[in-house]
Structure 1
Amino acid sequence: MRVHLCAVGRLRAGPEKTLIDDYATRFERTGRALGLGPLTITEIEDRKGGGMEAEAALLARALPDRAPLVALDERGKLMGSPDFATTLARFRDTGTRDLAFVIGGADGLSPDLRARADLSLSLGKMVWPHMLARVMLAEQLYRAASILAGAPYHRA
């Protein structure tokens, strides 16, 4: 199952990008034997300043056809890492070819895009900048693959 991370904004070279690249590589290495990966990261920018609705339109165009959508949203479901791994495996095991995660810009995701989501996921009760949300999601994808592989990375 290919995994897509579609996010508003562009990351420049720096520690966040380094972490994301590292976790993406680890996810792909660990997940390959499990039928997970690769991880594709698509960044969009609303250069005209159209707000959430314009960002939602750009994100929607970046999504793979018929891919289930997971929206990262502060109002979403709180989930532990083992449950996240189970959810990822469930998508894979039901024949999902592409799974898309979306992260909005500074104002979040538009209500219409949130409503389209098959799952709304929260990274906690605190609000995180989109660049850190990407790092946290990339790490959780790697952690999920590690859990599913029975690797010792996750110590619960």
Structure 2
Amino acid sequence: MSKIACVMTDMFEDSEYTSPVQEFEGGGHEVMVIGPEAGKEVTGKNGEAKVKTDLAIEDAKPEDYDALFIPGGFSPDILRADDRFVHFARHFMDQDKPVFAICHGPQLLITADVLKDRKVTGFKSIHMDLKHAGADFQDKEVVVCHNLVTSRTPDDLPAFNRESLKLLK
């Protein structure tokens, strides 16, 4: 099955990590959490989920993974200030590998400059950012554009998980 890189730091949206990971692992896929430091516990913004990172970004090679998962919350905004995460995310888009980004997750892709002419969705507060990045914004629960699956909020998780798993087959 697929090996999925999940890029994340503190302040991720708890359910936007836990629900997809449960579905991915239930489908036989492996999820590796990549953060600024290896072995560091990162905490969701609601304090419900605590996750230990598997690898530090400097030790992660994007070519070792089949797909990229970017949970929402404030984490993607923090990560996009670090060029290592930006380059890591860009690799997946450039190589047409599956990328799953929910809520604020597309912020990392905006900074990676890979959304021009792509159909995408995201949390309400980033709609204009997506449009300014050249994306074709769609206000739908899930948008699939070639290798990219995006959704808006935790309410969209069933559709996000379903479409993400389809891309992994």
Report the TM-score range of the alignment, normalised by the length of the smaller protein. Answer: 0.3 to 0.5
TM-score of the superposed pair, with normalisation by structure 1: 0.37
Q: Could you state the TM-score of these two structures normalised by the residue count of structure 2? A: 0.35
Q: Which has the larger radius of gyration?
A: 1
As a proportion of its length, which structure holds more helix?
A: 1
Structure having greater relative contact order (Cα 8 Å, sep ≥ 6): 1
